[in-house]
Amino acid sequence: MSERMSIGEKRVVRDYWEERPCGSHAARAASGTQAFFDQIEAHRYRSEPFITGFADFPRWAHKRVLEIGTGSATDLTNFARAGAMVTGIDLTTAAVELAQRRLSLEGLRGDVRVADAEQLPFADRSFDLVYSWGVLHHTPDTRAAIGEVRRVLDDGGQARVMLYG
């Protein structure tokens, strides 16, 4: 993917994920139900068991966590279950609605919104952890997205990011 992508190309990427929120392919239950989310979570951690060790959910209790690219909010939910103060962003309305629904079903709190990783709508040094699993390298301007991660991390904060190529 080129370092710069046109607005039209970015719209195509967003539209693709609007129709297929990340993780939803793994569920047979009705979208937005607890069974739906349980099926997605079981599939995710069965197919990628190393995520839980990498994320280290309990470590972030009482810390400010931003997830970039929430998809259906499996990891975001686990940070919240562990006691983190969670914020999640996704480029798509579909993913944000699923994430909000999931947190609500489990009685968890979090701020989930549509936003672009290249222009994060948060003040400098807002988070103790910025977490992103397989997302940032798909942004049109990966350097800008990484710059934004650095900007919103508090002093001593961590970025835990998985990229593939």
The answer to the question of residue 57 being in a domain is yes
Note down the domain range covering 129. Answer: 7-162
Number of domains in the chain: 1
The CA dihedral of 130, 102, 50, 82, to the nearest 10 degrees, is 70
CATH number for the domain that contains residue 62: 3.40.50.150
Determine contact, residues 114/104, Cβ cutoff 8 Å. no
| Cα distance between residue 105 and residue 128, in whole Å | 26
Q: Residues 59-106: pLDDT tens digits?
A: 999 999 999 999 999 999 999 999 999 999 999 999 999 999 999 999
The answer to the question of residue 32 being in a domain is yes
The answer to the question of residue 97 being in a domain is yes
| Cα distance between residue 140 and residue 149, in whole Å | 15
The answer to the question of residue 1 being in a domain is no
Q: Which helix (H) or strand (E) holds 38?
A: helix 34-47
Q: Residues 2-53: pLDDT tens digits?
A: 445 666 777 887 887 777 878 888 889 999 999 999 999 999 999 999 999 9
